[in-house]
Structures are given as C-alpha cells and as structure tokens.
C-alpha cells in the first residue's frame, strides 16, 4: 500500500465524521432546539470560546511542542488579530458596506477581517521571530515576553485602538458595538463560522506537522546542531513556523473579537488573571502534551471549563451539588491539578500521542506490541 492510500483512508473517515458533526450543529442552531435558551445562551458562546482556545493552544504547540521553543508572546499575536479584525469590520461598517450584522456581505466581511487579522499577526510573528529566535531556551522565553509586553502596551497607546482615541470608551471596549456586533453571550450567532474556522485551522496544523516542515522543526527541537548538520536551514524553519503559528493566533484573536463584542488590551496582558495570558497558553500546551495537537485540544476545552466566566454559569449548575463547591475557586483547583499532573505525568496528559478515528484500536495494539518488542530487544542486547 502506498503512503498516499494509507493516509487517505484516515482522511476520508475523519472528514466524514467531522462533516457530520458540523452539519448536526449547524442544523441544531436552526431548528427548535437551537432557538432554545440553553443552546443560545450556554452552548453557543461556550463553543465559540472553545474554538478560539483550541486554535490558540494548538498553534502554540507547533512552536513549543514540535519546535521546542518557549514563546511567551502568543497572546500578543492574538491581540493583533483581534484588533485588526475589529477595526476592519468597523471601517467597513462606517463605509456603509453593511448596515446590520447579517447577510452574505456581512459574513464575507467577517471572514475577510478574521483572515486579515491572521495575516497581520503572521507578519508580526515574522518580525519578532527573526531577532528572537536567535536566542534559545529561557532567554527566548524572556525576549518573547518582552515583545509581547511591548505589542500589548503599544496597542493600548494607539489612538485608534482605544484608550485615548475611540469616542465610545477606553481601551477599545466599544470597538465592536458598531462592528461585527455579536454582542455579549446573549447574542452570539453564526456558530458555524467558529466551528468551521476551528476545524480548518486544526486540520491545516496537522498537515503542517506531518510534512517535511514538521520533521524539520522536530529535528530542531531534539538537536539543533545535528539538524543544521543534516542540511536543515534552522533559522528559516524556525521563523516560518513562528509566523505560521502567529497566523493562527491572529485567527483566534479574530474569533475572540467576534464572540465578545468588545475587546480590551487588558485581557491579553500578562498581569491579567483571566485565561488569555500567554503563560496560560503555555500551560495548556504542556498539560495536554507537548507534541500532541490532540492534547492541546483537550487541554483547551479543560481550560475553558475552569474559566471564571463559566464558573457561575450553566455548566456548573449541571454538576452534582457536592462538586459545585470546587468551582468557587476554579483557578486554585486548576493550579493544584496542574501541579499533580506535572508531578505524575511530566510529559502531559497525551505525551506525543495523536488521536485518529481510524487508528484508535490499531494504535493501542501497536503501542503494546512495540513496548514489548523494545523491552525484549533491550534485554537481548
């Protein structure tokens, strides 16, 4: 069997399942169930949030898990994406391209704004990556932290981004009132946009890490000197991956802006206790497993559940009352769980395992066989 055929089987199965899931949700949002309060007020905003968190975590995993470079400015790229998308849609609306946030024109502009957010974030990823990626390890972490701080601080001081400029309020808090205008969670619509973009982004990242690019960056992670000695242009692949990852962070930012209706730089800042803080994204990636996009997805959803916005929400109310008490201090529990997981499973929940619908059973069997074989060989030698 050729490589292509082997992969196509999995591709077809995964696509069919994803498509079914997608249509189910799209249908749900239009039928009676979709009009219900639970769907509109709880499920839809939850899925929007999960969507951008998943993109955020998986895109950082490319840099951190696959390339082994610790970046602490991922949320700054997200901020760039969010502000670009917000300002663009605002400009279109002021120009009178669309009046109310509905219809084909509006959707087109929404996609365009989000895409531009991603592209600008990628451009910044490129600019930051060239100098920063010359450093390694802790020093890279610190310099990216510095760049992240500067980006957020400068956005905060741009006259057209809030603080001093926009008449409506401080730090862009009303940027969206006239833009995409999904409003707060009571009004989040167009769920399919979030789901479509999330699936697309994750699939694109999967393809990336499974190609020569993925092999090159994993080689850089394991041994940069040996990678260079194997003919890999390390600087090229590092900057490319950094920019590609920033692109998706920008897309996540665009989604975030759409979902929230208002944005403020303080949500992307380091000192902020919320979840859009670059260190938390790092935590998500490590918790899920560095080098496992599946792990990042699971960790992002987990992160969503401890998010303070949801702690008083409907999700907690569904739990048995005994457990609800935990969510009084969700971050405390989260920190505790994190320490325990790291202590007992230093490689994260998933390690570098990737979930695939066709391969679940085979994977488990293969894993066992491989372990046994390795053990036997090691003894033999």
Instruction: Kindly identify the residues of this chain, within the stretch 76-95, that bind other proteins according to CB under 8 A.
Output: none
Which of 176/237 has CB closer to other proteins?
A: 237
Is 204 among the residues that bind other proteins (CB under 8 A)?
yes
Report how far apart, in Å, the C-alpha atoms of 13 and of each of 18, 205, 311, 364 are.
9, 18, 36, 18
**Quick check: 214 and 93 in contact, CB under 8 A?**
no
The single-letter DSSP state of residue 290 is T
Among 228, 316, 326, 349, binds other proteins (CB under 8 A): 228
Which of 196/331 has CB closer to other proteins?
A: 331
Is 32 among the residues that bind other proteins (CB under 8 A)?
no
Which of 141/180 has CB closer to other proteins?
A: 141
Binding residues among 239-258 for other proteins as defined by CB under 8 A: 240, 244
Binding residues among 267-286 for other proteins as defined by CB under 8 A: 270-271, 273, 279, 282-283, 286
Dist CA 47 CA 25 (whole Å): 10
C-beta of 92: minimal distance to other proteins in Å?
Answer: 28
The two three-digit tokens of residue 152, written as one number: 């957020």
**Quick check: 171 and 266 in contact, CB under 8 A?**
yes
Residues 103-139: b if buried by 16+ CB within 10 A, e if exposed: eeebeebbeebbbbbbbbbbebbbebbeebbeeeeee
Is 58 among the residues that bind other proteins (CB under 8 A)?
no
Contact residues for 100 (Cβ-Cβ < 8 A; gap 6+): 106
The two three-digit tokens of residue 234, written as one number: 């390390």
Taking contact as CB under 8 A, which single stretch among the options 101-109, 114-122, 328-336, 355-363 is the one that binds other proteins? 328-336
Among 56, 120, 145, 302, binds other proteins (CB under 8 A): 145
DSSP string covering 166-221: -TT-GGGTTTTTTTT---STTS---HHHHHHHHHHHHHHHHHHHTSHHHHHHHHHH
Contact residues for 180 (Cβ-Cβ < 8 A; gap 6+): 85, 86, 89, 101, 106, 110, 113, 257, 258, 261
Is 379 among the residues that bind other proteins (CB under 8 A)?
no
C-beta of 44: minimal distance to other proteins in Å?
Answer: 29
The single-letter DSSP state of residue 362 is H
Taking contact as CB under 8 A, which single stretch among the options 87-95, 98-106, 251-259, 336-344 is the one that binds other proteins? 336-344
Which of 32/231 has CB closer to other proteins?
A: 231
Among 17, 370, 372, 376, binds other proteins (CB under 8 A): 370
Which of 103/131 has CB closer to other proteins?
A: 131
Dist CA 241 CA 294 (whole Å): 19
Among 17, 108, 338, 372, binds other proteins (CB under 8 A): 338
- Strand, coil or helix: what is 335? helix
Binding residues among 113-142 for other proteins as defined by CB under 8 A: 131, 134-135, 137-139, 141-142
Is 352 among the residues that bind other proteins (CB under 8 A)?
yes
C-beta of 71: minimal distance to other proteins in Å?
Answer: 12
Which of 27/376 has CB closer to other proteins?
A: 376
The two three-digit tokens of residue 179, written as one number: 């833009």
Taking contact as CB under 8 A, which single stretch among the options 24-32, 95-103, 110-118, 228-236 is the one that binds other proteins? 228-236
Is 16 among the residues that bind other proteins (CB under 8 A)?
no
| Total number of residues that touch other proteins (CB under 8 A) | 77
């Amino acid at each position: 069997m050729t490589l292509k055929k082997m992969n196509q089987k999995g591709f077809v199965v995964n696509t069919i399942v994803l498509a079914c899931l997608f249509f189910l949700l799209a249908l749900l949002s239009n039928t009676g169930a979709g009009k219900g309060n639970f769907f509109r007020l709880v499920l839809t905003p939850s899925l929007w949030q999960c969507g951008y968190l998943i993109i955020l975590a998986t895109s950082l995993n490319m840099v951190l898990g696959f390339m082994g470079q610790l970046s602490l400015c991922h949320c700054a790229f997200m901020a760039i994406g969010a502000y670009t998308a917000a300002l663009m849609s605002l400009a279109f609306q002021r120009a009178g391209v669309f009046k109310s946030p509905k219809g084909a024109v509006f959707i087109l502009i929404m996609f365009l704004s989000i895409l531009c957010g991603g592209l600008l974030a990628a451009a910044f990823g490129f600019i930051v990556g060239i100098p920063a990626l010359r450093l390694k390890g802790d020093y890279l972490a610190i310099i990216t932290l510095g760049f992240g701080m500067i980006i957020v601080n400068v956005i905060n001081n741009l006259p057209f981004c809030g603080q001093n400029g926009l008449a409506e309020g401080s730090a862009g808090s009303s940027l969206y009132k006239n833009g995409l205008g999904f409003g707060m969670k009571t009004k989040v619509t167009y769920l399919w946009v979030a789901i479509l973009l999330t699936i697309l982004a994750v699939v694109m990242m999967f393809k990336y890490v499974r190609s020569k690019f993925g092999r090159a960056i994993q080689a850089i992670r394991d041994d940069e000197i040996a990678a260079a000695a194997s003919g890999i242009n390390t600087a090229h692949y590092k900057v490319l991956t950094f920019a590609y990852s920033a692109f998706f962070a920008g897309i996540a930012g665009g989604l975030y802006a759409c979902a929230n209706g208002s944005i403020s730089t303080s949500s992307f800042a380091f000192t902020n206790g919320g979840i859009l803080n670059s260190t938390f994204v790092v935590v998500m990636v490590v918790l899920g497993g560095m080098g496992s996009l599946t792990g990042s997805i699971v960790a992002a959803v987990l992160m969503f559940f401890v998010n303070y916005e949801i702690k008083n929400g409907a999700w907690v109310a569904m739990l048995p009352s005994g457990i609800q008490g935990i969510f009084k201090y969700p971050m405390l529990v989260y920190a505790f769980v994190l320490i325990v997981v790291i202590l007992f499973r230093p490689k994260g929940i998933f390690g570098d395992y990737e979930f695939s619908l066709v391969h679940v059973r085979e994977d488990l069997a293969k894993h066992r066989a491989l372990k046994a074989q390795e053990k036997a060989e090691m003894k033999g030698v």
